[in-house]
Structure 1
Amino acid sequence: MALANLKDIYIDQLQDIFSADTQAEKVTRELAEAASDPKLKKALMAGVEGIEEGRKTLAEIIKSHGEDPTGEFCKGMEGLVKEARSHGIEEEITDADARDAMIITQYQRMAHYGIAGYGCLVAFAKRLGLTEEAHKLQRCLEATADGDRTMTELAEFGINQAAA
């Protein structure tokens, strides 16, 4: 599809973040399985639930525009997922706390991609006068940012200290 205007870009980016969330959901489950700290495992599984909610919201919005949610493949998240698996799961890290610190790092990189994507989508929806969609996407943005803050707290108030 040729992108001729902001609405086209909006739909394209909705599909891109849907793809990103689809990829991130799977690897986040894998990171939760690899984590040793119970609070980290719980936070990662909460992240999975949040990602699932985001995907549902995105699919609903995309379909309301007569488009297919799977119309785009996010190569940016593909790279981040590959890095998350390589460094957070497959890397030979002998200390469980150090692995947990690496898992947080990898999760936050994916979360920051999501924050950027959702932030752009909120701005596009507002500019296009899609107020209800902007509110829904804002909730997704806030949930993603909350997950990121949770990971920072886990890192700063326990996991990083234990890994040191």
Structure 2
Amino acid sequence: MSTGQHLPTIRPATGADLDGLQVLARRTIDACYRAFLGDEAVDWFIGSGASDAHIESHLEKGGVDCLSQEGRIIGFSILDDSTIDLMMIDPDHHRRGLGRLLLRHAEEMLFARHATIRLESFADNAAANSFYEACGWRHGERFEGEGPTKVEYVKNVSATDGPTR
């Protein structure tokens, strides 16, 4: 980061963040998911409101954290039980270490309550899968069926001394 920029902060999301989180999710899906889901699936998913509804339902339950910089939400994570349900970084802020920062925070939150944590990713999302593997996550189950194939990643509390530290 250049001098003069404020460091990013992570804080619990509030109801006032809903619109910003939904816009960020739609932008990220639009910019990053077309390569492996295709235009039709991305357009349907964004247009269906499923992404917006997913974020809203989790915001009501808690477990949503915002990554903010200079007052703007640039990323977020949704934690559900022992799972990182969703994690996104604004496409304009990729490859700056922000994903690692947010992932490390999510891991710490989950490891405070669970010895093994998990997440799912689309099997064809090579960028995300490479990222998770570089951060010490290992392959678990593969889920095939209706819709795109997903792969589970798992991490044990004993693995926290690995690459994400």
TM-score normalised to the size of structure 1? Answer: 0.33
Higher strand proportion (structure 1 or 2) = 2
Q: Radius of gyration: which is bigger?
A: 1
Higher helix proportion (structure 1 or 2) = 1
TM-score normalised to the size of structure 2? Answer: 0.32
**Higher relative contact order, structure no. (Cα contacts within 8 Å, ≥ 6 residues apart):** 1
